[in-house]
Structure 1
């Protein structure tokens, strides 16, 4: 027996429109789209050239239409009639006027309407000169307001239709006369529709631009508010701890030779104040980190739960402070709790800096209905006592309270000293930065 025959099978060709390889002469769709966009932009940049091309096209259509007889034996027949010289002149004038339709639409309409009226009265056989008047009427409707469109359109339709029906060689009910009425009405209606659509698109774009500008302004406002808040926190932290460091350093320098133990204690307070300042600065600046950055701060923001610790730092700096609390351990919102702590901190810092070495301070925290009232008093009589509204500390306190829809009252006390009184609502409505007083 011989060797078995080897049967080779042909691979089936793919059916359908799919090809394994693209044609070499195929033009990518993106290139065609780009070419069309460039052509569109070029035409928009040269409207006179576009209108000139339109005028030439209209002239060709009118001349071609003048050779057509709609009443031939076999229906619409080509070449059974020939326009006279006057019709050719009128068609040329009407088409030439369309080249300037964007520059003077009403004048172009008047000219094309005049030549159309002349054709209706004298033309035999009639040529489609009214085509130029229809396009001119469309331009007027697309570029003017609706009131002008109604007035001019009604006048044009009435004059041209009336002339065609009364002065022409055909009966008034002929289809050519009715076509004049229909096409002039369509031209005015189409132009008004295009104008309305352009106005609608422009309004949408203007609304989108305004929304984008509003969004950008809101983003800038929020950035400014965040910068202001961080600046307030930095001021409060730095001012408080630097004031304590300054006092303790002065004490250490004064008693260094005679009482070294007290000097060491003062320097220990300086070191503790410096460490606290660094920790609070690290926590405040850490808010600027991104969520994925390492070493993000995990320590909670300071609040009234640290009031005793805060008062202790001033005790160590030589400022006697008495604290009275009647807030019944009310849980405070984070923003209110931080603001209350910073107000007490800044007020006591001002007492230590301005009220004199013999001054005493009193701090009270009271829950009154839906509000928390913070009061800081001192009996200092120094000449550098802080005045109401002066300094960045009082400005920062006022901004904090205003942002929480609260009220702040500061000023000298009768008989000497200074008073800071803040009312913070527990359910505050945050205000915009521009609303701060």
Structure 2
């Protein structure tokens, strides 16, 4: 069953017509009941006509509440001037107009128009009959006109509050949707970085091993065979890592206990051995006291070293690279340097996905990554990572990760 409030919201114009008809009936009744004793019949007809005009003016109250108040107030003053006692039956059009004014306009407008209307109506009621009932004639109309002003103002404030609540709810919903989109974007970028780290490094090693094996096939078959055996192991490793990566993407929350630990600097010797099998010799230098790192920093450091050595495998002219890890009290600085072949003078460049991925990884934990290329130093990647991002407490020292 439809409530009265729902019906009025769905059919506002039809509701206004019903209100006007009801007020017209009340105006006719009031004009006949409250007519002065010495009034002529034509005075009653005039009062009915004027009050009826005020009722009809209410049909425009929603569109032009100010003009409606002016018209209904003028009609009430005219009716009072004929000597009629201004009771709620005759003041009803003004009361409705003042309610709509208060419900749809600002407080200054409401009380400005409402105050003038009240003064005019009360002044008319008092001025026509100055006798012992002057207080009654003044207080009654004043109260009846102030009541709709207060009710309309309360209604306006209530709807303003509801609108604010709805606006906040919509803003919160948009914020949640935007956060969800950002999380999806971040997750896509993370997956892209992980896949690049898994595939690019091993494919670079595979390419180097295959090229070396082809070059030595005629002159040193045994060494070529050994390299091909290592190539098979490398491809098996990349297949396993791809399988693990896809497996992580398919994991549910209940399977989190079965996840393998993320790689870190403890796997650095294995990474250096893979680079050696691809023909790249890496000189490692450690400054300061190595220590256990927070998981995010540990993974970031490993992935950046892995990508930098992958670039060295592809672009180094002398098949050598240097890796320097410098521990301070608050930061870990990683420097990977290699020279560049003349046919690849620009090195891996500054716009490849690998460089972008390294920068994103460093920035994600509050670090910084710089890439430089010079004839004196060669291609150099310098990364500075906070040892305790977010102000986490230091962990106990650990053994060296590489020697």
- TM-score, length of structure 2 as denominator length: 0.88
Secondary structure at the residue paired with 2:75?
helix
- The answer on whether the counterparts of 1:83 and 1:125 sit within 8 Å (CA) in structure 2 is no
Secondary structure at the residue paired with 2:224?
helix
- The answer on whether the counterparts of 2:69 and 2:94 sit within 8 Å (CA) in structure 1 is yes
Q: Which has the higher contact order (CA 8 A, sep 6+)?
A: 2
- The answer on whether the counterparts of 1:120 and 1:168 sit within 8 Å (CA) in structure 2 is no
Q: Which residue of 1 aligns with 2:315?
A: 354
Q: Which structure has greater helix proportion?
A: 2
Instruction: Choose which of 269, 287, 312 in structure 2 pairs with 1:308.
Output: 269
Equivalents in 1 of 2:116, 2:250: separation in Å? 72
**Cα distance change, pair 175–107 in 1 and its aligned pair in 2 (3 A):** same
User: Is 1:248 matched up with 2:209?
Assistant: yes
Q: Equivalences for 1:28-427 in 2 at 5 Å?
A: 32=1, 35-36=2-3, 40-41=5-6, 43-66=8-31, 68=33, 84-124=44-84, 128-168=89-129, 171=132, 173-291=134-252, 298-326=259-287, 328-356=289-317, 358-384=318-344, 385-386=346-347, 389-427=350-388
- The answer on whether the counterparts of 1:90 and 1:129 sit within 8 Å (CA) in structure 2 is no
**Cα distance change, pair 389–100 in 1 and its aligned pair in 2 (3 A):** same
Equivalents in 2 of 1:325, 1:105: separation in Å? 82
Q: Which residue of 2 aligns with 1:17?
A: none
How many aligned positions are there? Answer: 385
Secondary structure at the residue paired with 2:134?
coil
- The answer on whether the counterparts of 2:86 and 2:141 sit within 8 Å (CA) in structure 1 is no
Equivalents in 2 of 1:294, 1:210: separation in Å? 35
**Cα distance change, pair 40–182 in 1 and its aligned pair in 2 (3 A):** closer
Q: Which runs of 4+ in 1 moved over 6 A?
A: 293-296
Q: Which runs of 5+ in 2 are unaligned?
A: 36-40, 392-403
Deviations 1:330-356 (A, max 9, x none): 111111111100111111111111123
Task: Tell which deviates more after alignment, 59-68 or 131-140.
Answer: 59-68
Equivalents in 1 of 2:219, 2:258: separation in Å? 43
**Cα distance change, pair 228–269 in 1 and its aligned pair in 2 (3 A):** same
Q: Which runs of 5+ in 1 are unaligned?
A: 1-31, 71-80, 431-437
- The answer on whether the counterparts of 2:340 and 2:378 sit within 8 Å (CA) in structure 1 is yes
Let me know the Cα RMSD of the aligned residues: 2.6
**Cα distance change, pair 407–245 in 1 and its aligned pair in 2 (3 A):** same
Equivalents in 1 of 2:249, 2:211: separation in Å? 35
Secondary structure at the residue paired with 1:84?
helix
Equivalents in 2 of 1:144, 1:380: separation in Å? 75
- The answer on whether the counterparts of 2:315 and 2:348 sit within 8 Å (CA) in structure 1 is no
- The answer on whether the counterparts of 2:209 and 2:278 sit within 8 Å (CA) in structure 1 is yes
Deviations 1:304-327 (A, max 9, x none): 000000000010111111112245
Equivalents in 2 of 1:268, 1:381: separation in Å? 27
Equivalents in 2 of 1:295, 1:271: separation in Å? 31
Report the Cα offset of residue 418 of structure 1: 1.1
Equivalents in 2 of 1:233, 1:297: separation in Å? 19
Equivalents in 2 of 1:325, 1:65: separation in Å? 102
Q: Which residue of 2 aligns with 1:28?
A: none
- The answer on whether the counterparts of 1:360 and 1:380 sit within 8 Å (CA) in structure 2 is no
**Cα distance change, pair 120–50 in 1 and its aligned pair in 2 (3 A):** same
**Cα distance change, pair 125–300 in 1 and its aligned pair in 2 (3 A):** closer
Report the Cα offset of residue 82 of structure 1: 12
